Structure 1
Amino acid sequence: MGKTEKLTVRKQERLDKYLSAELKTTRNQIEALIKSGYVKVNGKTVKKGGIKLKVGETIEIEYPEVRKSEAKEPGFDVEIIYEDEDILVLNKPSGVTVHPAPSVKEPTLVDWLKKRGVSLSTISGEERHGIVHRIDKETSGVLVIAKNDSAHLSLSKQLQDKSMGRYYLAIIEPPLKEDTVVEKPIGRNPKNRIKMAVVPNGREAKTAFAKIALSKDQKTELIGAKLFTGRTHQIRVHLNAIGRHILGDCLYGFKSRSDKIKRVFLHAYILYLRHPKTGTKMRFVAPLPDDMREFLKKRFDWESINEKIVPEQFDTIFDSVS
């Protein structure tokens, strides 16, 4: 077991809500710790976040250790964009799942981190060491890893107050009629549990989409996407809701062609945040992967695209839709 933290309850409240406020992290992360048996109240392990606390009770959190030996051997490598003693910024390849889950059989990004002996935060529980936010398996691009719990708490708070975020690039068909914002609730698809969907009782979700460049035949388009919330498959679901599909995304409506696009052409291009220790504003860029770059060079005006996706000015393409 890793480090232990003790808290004395100062007001009556639900356990999960109280810990989320005290540790300045998300309820999902707290729930993961509770369900994994890492939280005790008055010396007894609790497994439900909804229990009511009483003033004066003692909460004990035992953060799990990273066990390198348990990691699967990854058959891939990951580009490191930036690293210091608090954070690690990576360019995740398409096809790599971020963290283990019961349905995941192949090695994950967490396995890659463990095998390389990277120091990781443990506040998200045993299966999600260091993971502050995630990217879909099919999506490539920039991702930040917390190397200690202090950094993890700071970055989680930034996610909540929107001072940390990402800009995406996607190749879609058909093209957008105009720049637009989609604000529709997202939840599990009632007819297909693998998919997400716009559903009346779903969680609030908002995405901005901005036109960047049309292909030479004007049938496909490179667009930018900005997330205001972080729901599973959010960009893909919101595009599907307005009759657009990301190339390669067969799960959400793309029809395969003879050229056999082998993965979803969605890339997390830019990550912005404040350094968890110094507070310095930082911006990281994950270069376009080779397959998306080659597709754009072949079917678009590549020089024009380069002028429009300059990282330092990328925010401005959303000026009319944010």
Structure 2
Amino acid sequence: MNNKKFTAHKEMRLDMFLTEQLNETRNQIDHLITKGFVSVSNKKKAKSGLKLTIGQEVFVELPEIVKEKALDVDFDIEIVYEDNDFMVINKPSGVIVHGAPSVKEATLVDWLKKKNISLSTISGEERHGIVHRIDKGTSGLLCIAKTNEAHVALSKQLEDKTMGRFYVALTDLPLKDDTTINAAIGRNPSNRLKMGLVSSGKSAKTSFVKLALSNNEKYELIAAKLYTGRTHQIRVHLESLQRHILGDVLYGFKGNTDKIKRVYLHAFSLYLKHPITNDEMNFNVPLPDDMDNFYKNNFNEEDDNEKINNEYIVARFNSII
């Protein structure tokens, strides 16, 4: 454990005090307190709302990575960029980002640990290094923090929107127009596996732009930009338009699942500022083989380089703002 000791210099809540001292987000501080890594005056079971008195001592244990808990990993992942502070990877479809009580298979975090990659620890044992996530079936770019300092900086970028991604998807019907959906999302009351438009849910905003129409005018390649990060956000907002991503049977796709074996959604482009130097950085990765083959078989291949292009996609979104 990496142990730290602080002395309260004024009366204030424990979580607010540690947020100041460690320069980390309130969510990360609450996680450390809930997991028992914080004690006050040598007493465990501290609570986030505990009011400290002047002179009270606060002890924090930053957990280390426990490598032996990793499961057997039978896949590999492309590293798009790496330095001493963070890395960007291209997650393949079918890989879960981090563990949970219901997860019985190797995850991206297990792969990172197997590679002996240095990872931030402030998000807890199951989420070492994980700054943001994408669904198991979704492929594409993810940012991984290698140090706690980088993790804090990248998390703040997510909050202030200086970090973001552009997604591309193949849909079962063309959009009528470029559009922005601003509708709250929460757990679907009639199907706990799904999310839905729920008035009491969390605010959610997504913009969609049309990129290319298939040769038979049945399918469409679209791009999506998230302004918030809700579970299944792109899929839920598309469903509200009576459009579905190919392969997304959970949200209404009714096509041939023998040929389309996963949700054709890909995090194509990632932009951020370097967590230490503050330099602006952009990354993009091509469509994975399954999506690329479908595109080539059903769309005009000559449009490939023009339409599946970061500059073109950014310009399309700028045109609707």
Q: TM-score normalised by the shorter chain: which range applies?
A: over 0.9
What is the one-letter code of the residue matched to 1:124? S
Q: Is the 8 A contact 1:34 1:49 kept in 2?
A: yes
SS where residue 243 of structure 1 aligns? Answer: coil
The CA distance in 1 between the partners of 2:138 and 2:304, in whole Å, is 20
The CA distance in 2 between the partners of 1:259 and 1:271, in whole Å, is 31
Comparing 80-89 and 15-24, the one that deviates more: 15-24
The CA distance in 2 between the partners of 1:269 and 1:137, in whole Å, is 16
Task: Mark the CA change 1:38 to 1:308 in structure 2 (over 3 Å): closer, same or farther.
Answer: same
Instruction: Give the CA deviation at 1:56.
Output: 4.4
Instruction: Give the CA deviation at 1:200.
Output: 1.0
Deviations 1:41-88 (A, max 9, x none): 332223643444445443332111111111011111100101111111
Q: Superposition pairs for residues 37-116 of structure 1, below 5 Å?
A: 37-46=36-45, 48-116=47-115
Q: Is the 8 A contact 1:146 1:152 kept in 2?
A: yes
Q: Superposition pairs for residues 193-204 of structure 1, below 5 Å?
A: 193-204=192-203
**2:169 corresponds to:** 170
**2:302 corresponds to:** 303
What is the one-letter code of the residue matched to 1:309? I
Deviations 1:202-225 (A, max 9, x none): 111111111101111111111010
Instruction: Give the CA deviation at 1:171.
Output: 0.6
Q: Does structure 1 residue 135 correspond to structure 2 residue 134? A: yes
**Superposition TM-score, scaled by structure 1 size:** 0.93
Q: Superposition pairs for residues 1-322 of structure 1, below 5 Å?
A: 1=1, 3-9=2-8, 12-20=11-19, 23-46=22-45, 48-257=47-256, 260-322=259-321
The CA distance in 1 between the partners of 2:79 and 2:140, in whole Å, is 11
What fraction of aligned residue pairs are identical, expressed as a percent? 59
Instruction: Give the CA deviation at 1:302.
Output: 2.2
Instruction: Give the CA deviation at 1:184.
Output: 0.8
The CA distance in 1 between the partners of 2:34 and 2:152, in whole Å, is 19
**Superposition TM-score, scaled by structure 2 size:** 0.94
Instruction: Give the CA deviation at 1:255.
Output: 1.1
Task: Mark the CA change 1:242 to 1:47 in structure 2 (over 3 Å): closer, same or farther.
Answer: farther
Deviations 1:142-184 (A, max 9, x none): 0010001011011011111110111100111211111111111
Q: Is the 8 A contact 1:212 1:305 kept in 2?
A: no
What is the one-letter code of the residue matched to 2:153? S
Task: Mark the CA change 1:17 to 1:223 in structure 2 (over 3 Å): closer, same or farther.
Answer: farther
Matched pairs, number: 321
What is the one-letter code of the residue matched to 1:172? T
SS where residue 210 of structure 1 aligns? Answer: strand
Q: Is the 8 A contact 1:186 1:198 kept in 2?
A: yes
What is the one-letter code of the residue matched to 1:62? E
Instruction: Give the CA deviation at 1:135.
Output: 0.8
What is the one-letter code of the residue matched to 1:246? I
Task: Mark the CA change 1:258 to 1:103 in structure 2 (over 3 Å): closer, same or farther.
Answer: closer
Deviations 1:254-275 (A, max 9, x none): 1132653100000000111111
Deviations 1:78-127 (A, max 9, x none): 00101111111100010110001001111000000001100000011111
Task: Mark the CA change 1:25 to 1:201 in structure 2 (over 3 Å): closer, same or farther.
Answer: farther
Q: Is the 8 A contact 2:40 2:46 kept in 1?
A: no
The CA distance in 2 between the partners of 1:250 and 1:17, in whole Å, is 44
Deviations 1:262-294 (A, max 9, x none): 000000001111111111111111221000000
The CA distance in 1 between the partners of 2:102 and 2:257, in whole Å, is 31
What is the one-letter code of the residue matched to 1:257? N
The CA RMSD measured in Å over matched residues stands at: 1.9
Task: Mark the CA change 1:307 to 1:104 in structure 2 (over 3 Å): closer, same or farther.
Answer: same
What is the one-letter code of the residue matched to 1:272? Y
Specify every segment of 5 or more residues in structure 2 that has no aligned partner in the other structure, as ranges: none
Instruction: Give the CA deviation at 1:20.
Output: 4.3
Q: Is the 8 A contact 1:36 1:47 kept in 2?
A: no
Instruction: Give the CA deviation at 1:18.
Output: 4.8
Task: Mark the CA change 1:316 to 1:118 in structure 2 (over 3 Å): closer, same or farther.
Answer: same
The CA distance in 2 between the partners of 1:297 and 1:252, in whole Å, is 25
